[in-house]
Amino acid sequence: MFRFWIVFCLWVQVCAVVCINGCGTSSYVRKPFASHDLPIHHFPSPPGFNAPQQVHITQGDHEGRSMIISWVTPVQPTPNVVTYWEAANPNCIHKQAHAKTTYYRYYNYTSGYIHHATIRRLKYDTQYIYELGKHNETRRFSFTTPPQVGPDVPYTFGVIGDLGQTCDSNQTLEHYVANPKGKAVLFVGDLSYADDHPFHDNRRWDSWGRFVEKSTAYQPWIWTAGNHELDLAPEIGENTPFRPYLHRYYVPYKASQSTSPLWYSIKHASAYIIVLSSYSAYGKYTPQYNWLEQELPKVNRAETPWLIVLLHSPWYNSNNYHYMEGESMRVMFESWFVKHKVDLVFAGHVHSYERSKRISNVKYNITNGLSTPVCDASAPVYITIGDGGNVEGIANNFTEPQPSYSAFREASFGHAILELKNRTHAHYTWHRNHDGEAVAADSTWFYNRYWYPHDEDQLSSSTTMS
Ligand SMILES: [Fe+2]
């Protein structure tokens, strides 16, 4: 018996050491085959011939006192008004905001009327009720504004990427919705996967809008464009990139002096969030390059300690799928991220999950041979979370051996929860779909790079391997 306990204790110690240093490649094996998109009738329109549908909201200004309310009316362009009031004060005056209304054609498809109304001068951290439509087609929703920006304001984000509209997508979204912690979603691109259907069947953009409404109507989703938002199809006469996406998903890009909705920034509670476009020009002198160069020095870590970047194509990815596709953007911007001590970079694109150590690869200059990533306390953690569960299936072909920069990786679907506790600490969990939503398959503490730049690996990482 004594010998058994000796062996058991040694085994526990070995497991602890393994987990503290990152847990390698998970042994969890998920079914490798792709699932199909759910039939369009699985996402029915609400009753009524012109009832508002596909409702989604996002932050409408730089500070968090505005909200953009977006929706589609399928037949008539009116009413294009949102009525809103404070939930705690239903007898107060109900205010209204008028929408900008647009539509687009794509090959043989014509969209419904797409409305975007910006509600301004809202109170911080306040629940609002809003209504769309009229008479018996009226639909009511609610949202809560973020708290006033400040360095120790706690706030919790969900993180989702590459969602699509399959059974797996549905499981991911249901998991996220069932998790009561998330107050807003950082979405890292690839929304509907309409372009995987013949002629980019844009009815799939509509069905996706109806699918995600259960969350997007109630909390802001911070949008990032992925390659499936390009919808570039010269063979059918569609030569303008991002056209469906840009008509449907408005973001407050002008508030951060951006010249394009594909890259922008917002402040949200204690976070400064920068959204980049992997599929727009980012070489030197391009608008995105110039904007980011001026943007990073503006971040005041005394006001927003957590500097988070969202982009689609990961810079550090040890999967054979999309391997090194993010390399050219990394070469352009990584030294800036290290200089400005970016805390976290979330990416999608690769349909699996991976978390890196804090590493950088900025010394290389084409002749010195220093092209291996090294530990760097000023570098971000890179998280690839393109595991929403879309029609293209899982990316289950990791490179072997696992690179030293990769802390944990698993070929599964899921979502993450990022809890900003104060200016120094954030708790992070990743939830695989095949567990209950309360189970964390990967969890760690992140220490703020500006206020508390200590090494998390020495203390905090833990991962549940199945
Ligand atoms: Fe992608």
The three-class DSSP label of residue 176 is helix
Nearest residue to 310 via CA among 287, 331, 292, 285: 292
How many angstroms separate the CA atoms of 157 and 446, rounded? 14
- Quick one: angle between helices 203-216 and 167-178, nearest 10? 20
The residues near 367 (Cβ < 8 Å, ≥ 6 apart) are none
**Global pTM value:** 0.93
The residues near 215 (Cβ < 8 Å, ≥ 6 apart) are 173, 176, 177, 185, 221
CA 386 / ligand 1 centre spacing (Å): 8
Q: Is 175 designated active site?
A: no
CA 138 / ligand 1 centre spacing (Å): 36
The tens digit of pLDDT for each residue in 125-168 reads 999 999 999 999 999 999 999 999 999 999 999 999 999 999 99
Local structure of residue 387 (DSSP, 8 states):
-
Q: What is the DSSP string of 285-306?
A: TSHHHHHHHHHGGG--TTT--E
Q: Are 18 and 24 in contact (CB under 8 A)?
A: yes
CA 86 / ligand 1 centre spacing (Å): 38
CA 447 / ligand 1 centre spacing (Å): 29
Length of the chain in terms of residues written: 466
Q: What is the CA radius of gyration of the chain?
A: 22
Mean pLDDT throughout 41-50? 96
- Residue ranges of alpha helices (H) inside 236-277 are 243-248
How much is the mean pLDDT over the chain?
92
Band of pLDDT at residue 459, cut at 50, 70 and 90? low
Mean pLDDT throughout 79-93? 95
Mean pLDDT throughout 12-27? 48
Q: Are 270 and 154 in contact (CB under 8 A)?
A: yes
Q: Are 430 and 443 in contact (CB under 8 A)?
A: yes
Q: Are 129 and 148 in contact (CB under 8 A)?
A: no
> What residues have their beta carbon closer than 5 A to ion ligand 1?
190, 226-227, 349
CA 5 / ligand 1 centre spacing (Å): 49
Count CA atoms within 13 Å of residue 11 on its CB side.
6
The tens digit of pLDDT for each residue in 207-217 reads 999 999 999 99
Q: Which residue has the higher pLDDT, 113 or 436?
A: 113
How many angstroms separate the CA atoms of 175 and 447, rounded? 27
Nearest residue to 346 via CA among 310, 387, 316: 310
The yes-or-no verdict on residue 13 having pLDDT over 90 is: no
CA 347 / ligand 1 centre spacing (Å): 9
Residue of 62, 115, 322, 415 with catalytic role: 322
Question: Which backbone phi and psi does 4 adopt, to 5 degrees?
Answer: -60, -45
